[in-house]
Amino acid sequence: MLEFAAVDYRFRNGDGVSDLSFAVRSGEIVALVGLNGAGKTTLMRLGLGMLRPQAGEVRLFGRTLSTVPAAEWTAVGALIELPLAYPELTVAENLRISSSLHGRTTSHTEVMETWQLAPLADRRFRRLSLGNRQRVGLAAAMQHDPRVIVLDEPSNSLDPASVLLLREQLLRRAHAGAAVLVSSHHLDEVARIADRVLLMNAGRLIGQLDTDGADLERAFFDRVRADDENRRNREEAV
């Protein structure tokens, strides 16, 4: 559904990602974890065509991104960094616009009830709390039943009840066949739902985290520390 094949991208300051190769299959939830600056958001932007690889290629539904028809992009749902919404429009109006952009014209009553937004339907987006804005963004990203879902730190600003709601929605959609790629700082949370948890460090994938371990945070930091030491040793040897 979504595949990265030896993808490289570097910004002018040298930050970026290199040699990314992995795929997200139908019905699978893949989580990306890493420290701030590891490259998770850059990877997701590459997967959505917001950035173009400088080497390698990204494939969506089996096609390179440049050849994916516009109609097929309507089957993708995404939330990267901040929800995209018109601040002066209401919650209901923003959801209606997002639905139309994805080729849907159905009622939003069920969507707002699912994401507990019905009491806020007529409130302007700019007057919402950060957590409510995030729920609007998540509702907009998934209300059209996308086949591929890409979410960057989706639990940011959410209260515990909303985190549980997000978990239920991602599991339900994966069970229905969607391919889900999600990044998070919350190791325990992604371990509950992810089929695979991939580790990122310094713009590279450095392996997979065993979610059956008793102390996920220690295992995560040990892997990152070991990778940092290996990189320093290689640089010193050059």
Both 40 and 107 in one domain: the answer is no
Both 156 and 225 in one domain: the answer is yes
Helix 91-101 × helix 130-142 angle, to 10° = 30
Q: Cα–Cα–Cα angle for 74, 114, 153, nearest 5°?
A: 65
- In angstroms, the Cα distances linking 140 to 7, 86, 95 are 29, 12, 6
Both 150 and 209 in one domain: the answer is yes
CA separation for the pair 133, 135 (Å, rounded): 5
Both 55 and 150 in one domain: the answer is yes
CATH number where 214 lies: 3.40.50.300
Both 65 and 92 in one domain: the answer is no
Q: What is the pTM of this model?
A: 0.91
80: in domain: no
CA separation for the pair 159, 131 (Å, rounded): 7
Both 217 and 151 in one domain: the answer is yes
**For residue 66, how many other CB atoms are within 10 A of its CB?**
9
Decide if 217 contacts 187 (C-beta within 8 A): yes
The tens-digit pLDDT sequence of the chain (238 residues) is 999 999 999 998 888 999 999 999 999 999 999 988 899 999 999 999 999 999 999 999 999 999 999 889 999 999 998 888 999 999 999 999 988 888 776 667 788 899 999 999 999 999 999 999 999 999 999 999 999 999 999 998 999 999 999 999 999 999 999 999 999 888 888 888 999 999 999 999 999 988 776 678 888 888 889 988 888 887 777 6
CA separation for the pair 225, 136 (Å, rounded): 37
Both 108 and 71 in one domain: the answer is no
200: in domain: yes
Both 224 and 150 in one domain: the answer is yes
Can you give the residue range of the structural domain that contains 137? 86-145
Both 151 and 223 in one domain: the answer is yes
User: What's the number of domains the chain is made of?
Assistant: 2
Both 114 and 136 in one domain: the answer is yes
81: in domain: no
Both 38 and 16 in one domain: the answer is yes
Both 200 and 218 in one domain: the answer is yes
